């Protein structure tokens, strides 16, 4: 697996299939990138779980912090690691002990550990490194185009009408093809304003 | 299944645009509004804090402009772009993110005269210094590097000379010096040259020229290649340090490979203010849809006109990189195989006065200070665009006193040649 560049379809399939995301290193400080990403993904309907031993007893946007992955009471689809490259391996080792096994290990922008990635892939997990799920979601839904970002997708279909804090659809027939519907599903599960 | 990469012409028509969600309008609507309502207080706070993507106020972003931004980013192969009011505004906004008083840039001497003015006078008043280098002598860029150097600036095809710059060689100098290479790609457009493919870190354009292409709208754009690490050695604090006005956000940490475009928007455009009007963005977008067709015709006509002039007894020299035997023909074959652009210069055997006569005798060419119009244009740079330079500097920038500059349009080439013929013999 090449981790220098990812196909849109690979990323889209991940963002479209996962429902619960444990964010390791989530910060309650509202100017940290992890806080932005946590809030953004929660607003798009993902079941977010903040993992940070330093903040147990507090909660992040109403979700209680847990100390470690082992403390989570429900199956986790994806682990989003907001830690430096040097702290990735222990998280992957911990993830490998979970049952059921998470489907995806995602390392944040700036974080990369190829050995940890190989280990996770050998166990059947998908891996994304050095990317931000908020940015990728924004890009593949074209929401991020409002900031002049190259979404690398095209569509001749009418854009979905934004509802509830710009929750847009990932459902663009992009240059890579592959329809997706994670946020549509999320929108359906939430009551409309 | 792997991603399909659409071709250039498909991107020129589609990138960034999608039928309007509310009305289904297929052409990009002109969102002629200053501001955008928030959903609620939390949404407003998230937008202001850069935590959510969305529209606030047209000085910072506008949906029509955003389509233009994504389209040019896609055509250049960049990660993001920011449209601004003019090509010159693009340059100021770029350098304001990179330079502090006392810092330095290295710039090619062969540049648009207005850029030479901007760097020499306005930038000097900001405390930004310029070291000039010669694109024909790559070592002159290396020699100009100092501990204060923060960027290198070149034009892919230089105005007015039409010479082709060896982007890869200068990109290597920039990499070694640990500074970004900025390429003004106005005269080439991404249809002819994509500087990012050759090592550029930032591309700027005057959209006023071939991209808009119809001589009706001013505009500029900054494209972020997403290639430069701004945090590596603390040379670019605007991108690497916490921003006090955004509660301590670090832009590169937060926005990754499009942090430079974001900095230009949320620091540069926010504070300096040269926003592009959505109406101009619409005009330029419409122009870009036909960019591939127009550039083919511009280049085909330019080559025919250059060949005609090269064979004319009254013409002393033609500087068109597309001509076999031209000094820049090898570079043109390497960097611009589809055509060497449509702006070039020539000189007349009878010197300055003959040049002035030629300009006044032309009936189809318009005498004006612009390039990259559908119409063919002519100017005498030494007495206009480059008049602020002394004679030695004029020669070095490709605007010697006997030189006439042409910007070849998309009319029938036979008519352009006939007009030149009658004006030369009149
Ligand atoms: C190569 C080049 N760069 C920049 C500019 C400045 O652009 P604008 O006039 O849109 O400010 C021009 C204008 O002639 C140009 O030719």
ipTM of this complex: 0.87
Q: Which burial class, exposed, middle or buried, applies to B401 when counting CB atoms under 10 A from its CB (0-12, 13-18, 19+)?
A: middle
Question: How far apart are the C-alpha atoms of B398 and B110, rounded to whole Å?
Answer: 6
pLDDT at B92: 98
CATH number at residue A164: 3.40.50.720
* DSSP state for residue B2 in the 8-state scheme: P
CATH class name, domain B28-287: alpha beta
The domains of chain B are located at 28-287, 290-425
- Cα–Cα dist B165/B157, whole Å: 6
Angle at B219 between CA B213 and CA B220, to 5 degrees: 105
Secondary structure of chain A in HEC code, one letter for each residue: CCCCCCCHHHHHHHHHHCCEEEEECCCCCCCCHHHHHHHHHHHCCCEEEEECHHHECEEECCEECECCHHHCCCCCCEEEECCCHHHHHHHHHHHHCCCCCCCEEEECCCCCCHHHHHHHHHCCCEEECCCCHHHHHHHHCCHHHHHCECCCCCCCCCCCCCECCCECCCCCCCCCCCCCCHHHHHHHHCCCC
In three-state secondary structure terms, B348 is strand
Q: Do A159 and B63 touch (CB under 8 A)?
A: no
CATH code that applies to domain B290-425? 3.90.1150.10
Residue B254 has its nearest CB partner, among A33, A152, A155, at: A33
Mean pLDDT of B361-384: 94
Query: Quick check: CB of B276 below 6 Å from ligand 1?
Result: no
Beta carbons of A175 and B69 less than 8 Å apart = no
**How many Å separate Cα B364 from the centre of its chain?**
27
The residue contributing the CA closest to ligand 1 atom 7 is B87
Count of domains observed in chain A: 1
Residue A2, domain member (yes or no): no
* Token pair belonging to A110: 């700036």
Position A41 in a domain: yes
Residue pLDDT, tens place only, B147-179 = 999 999 999 999 999 999 999 999 999 999 999
Whole-number Cα distances in Å, B167 to A12, B24, B138, B170, B184? 36, 43, 10, 5, 11
**Which of the four pLDDT bands, split at 50, 70 and 90, describes residue A176?**
very low
Across the range B49-53, mean pLDDT stands at 82
Under the banding of pLDDT at 50, 70 and 90, the label for residue B3 is low
Does some domain include residue A182? yes
Q: Is the CB of B112 under 6 A from ligand 1?
A: yes
Residue of higher predicted confidence among B43 and B82? B82
Is A87 part of a structural domain of the chain? yes
Count Cα neighbours of A166 within 13 Å in the Cβ-side half-sphere: 26
Q: Is residue A1 part of a domain?
A: no
Return mean pLDDT, chain B.
Answer: 95
Q: Regarding predicted confidence, which is higher, A164 or B177?
A: B177
Q: Which atom of ligand 1 is nearest to the CA of B90?
A: 11
Q: How far is CA A119 from CA A88, B67, B295, in A?
A: 11, 42, 51
Which residues of chain A are within 8 Å of residue B54 when distances are taken between CB atoms? 143, 146, 166
Structure-token pair, residue B270: 């926010």
Residue A25 lies in a domain: yes
Which range of residues forms the domain containing residue A74?
A: 8-191
**Under 8 Å between Cβ of A32 and A60:** no
Q: Quick check: is A149 in a domain?
A: yes
Q: Is residue A3 part of a domain?
A: no
Residue A7 binned pLDDT confidence (cut-offs 50, 70, 90): confident
Please determine, for residue A84, whether its predicted confidence score (pLDDT) is greater than 80: yes
Q: Does the pLDDT value for residue B278 go beyond 90?
A: yes
């Amino acid at each position: 697996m090449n981790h220098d560049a990812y196909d849109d379809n690979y990323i889209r399939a991940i963002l479209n299939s996962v429902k619960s995301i444990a964010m390791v290193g989530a910060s309650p400080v509202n100017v940290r990138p992890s806080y932005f990403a946590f809030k953004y993904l929660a607003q798009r309907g993902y079941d977010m779980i903040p993992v940070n031993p330093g903040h147990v007893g507090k909660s992040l946007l109403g979700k209680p912090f847990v100390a470690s992955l082992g403390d989570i009471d429900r199956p986790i689809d994806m682990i989003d690691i907001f830690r430096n490259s040097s702290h990735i391996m222990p998280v992957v080792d911990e993830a490998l002990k979970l049952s059921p096994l998470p489907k995806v290990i995602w390392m944040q922008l700036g974080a990369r550990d190829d050995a940890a990635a190989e280990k996770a892939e050998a166990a059947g997990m998908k891996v994304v490194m050095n990317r931000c799920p908020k940015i990728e979601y924004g890009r593949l839904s074209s929401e991020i185009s409002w900031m002049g970002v190259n979404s690398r997708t095209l569509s001749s279909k009418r854009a979905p009408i934004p509802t509830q804090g710009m929750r847009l659809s990932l459902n663009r027939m992009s240059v890579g093809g592959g329809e997706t519907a994670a946020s549509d599903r999320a929108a359906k599960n939430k009551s409309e304003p | 299944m792997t991603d399909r990469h659409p071709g250039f012409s498909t991107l020129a028509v589609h990138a960034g645009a999608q039928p309007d969600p509310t009305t289904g309008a297929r052409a990009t609507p002109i969102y002629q509004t200053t501001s955008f309502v928030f959903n609620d207080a939390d949404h407003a706070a998230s937008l202001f804090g850069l935590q959510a993507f969305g529209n606030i106020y047209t000085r910072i972003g506008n949906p029509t402009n955003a389509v233009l931004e994504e389209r040019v980013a896609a055509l250049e192969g960049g990660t993001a772009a920011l449209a601004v009011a003019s090509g010159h505004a693009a340059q100021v906004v770029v350098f304001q993110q990179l330079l502090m008083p006392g810092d330095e840039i290295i710039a090619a001497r062969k540049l648009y005269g207005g850029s030479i003015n901007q760097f020499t006078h306005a930038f000097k008043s900001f405390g930004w210094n310029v070291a000039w280098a010669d694109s024909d002598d790559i070592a002159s860029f290396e020699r100009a590097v100092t501990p204060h150097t923060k960027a290198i600036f070149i034009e892919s095809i230089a105005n007015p000379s039409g010479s082709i710059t060896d982007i890869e060689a200068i990109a290597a100098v920039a990499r070694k010096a640990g500074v970004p290479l900025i390429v003004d790609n106005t005269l080439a457009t991404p249809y002819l040259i994509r500087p990012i493919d050759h090592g550029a870190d930032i591309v700027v354009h005057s959209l006023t020229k071939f991209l808009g292409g119809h001589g009706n709208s001013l505009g500029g754009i900054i494209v972020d290649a997403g290639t430069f690490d701004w945090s590596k050695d603390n040379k670019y604090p605007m991108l690497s340090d916490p921003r006090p006005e955004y509660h301590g956000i670090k832009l590169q940490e937060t926005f990754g490979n499009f942090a430079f475009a974001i900095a230009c928007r949320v620091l540069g455009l926010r504070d300096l203010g040269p926003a592009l009007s959505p109406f101009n963005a619409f005009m330029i977008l419409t122009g870009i849809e036909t960019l591939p067709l127009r550039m083919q015709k511009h280049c085909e006509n330019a080559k025919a006109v250059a060949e005609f002039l090269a064979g004319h007894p009254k013409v002393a020299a033609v500087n068109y990189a597309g001509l076999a035997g031209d000094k820049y023909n090898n570079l043109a074959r390497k960097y611009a195989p589809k055509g060497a652009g449509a702006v070039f210069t020539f000189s007349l055997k009878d010197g300055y006065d003959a040049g002035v006569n030629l300009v006044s005798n032309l009936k189809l060419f318009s005498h004006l200070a612009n390039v990259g119009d559908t119409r063919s244009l002519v100017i005498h740079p030494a007495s206009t665009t480059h008049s602020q330079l002394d004679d030695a500097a004029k020669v070095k920038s490709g605007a010697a006193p006997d030189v006439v500059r042409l910007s070849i349009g998309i009319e029938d080439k036979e008519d352009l040649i006939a007009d030149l013929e009658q004006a030369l013999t009149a």
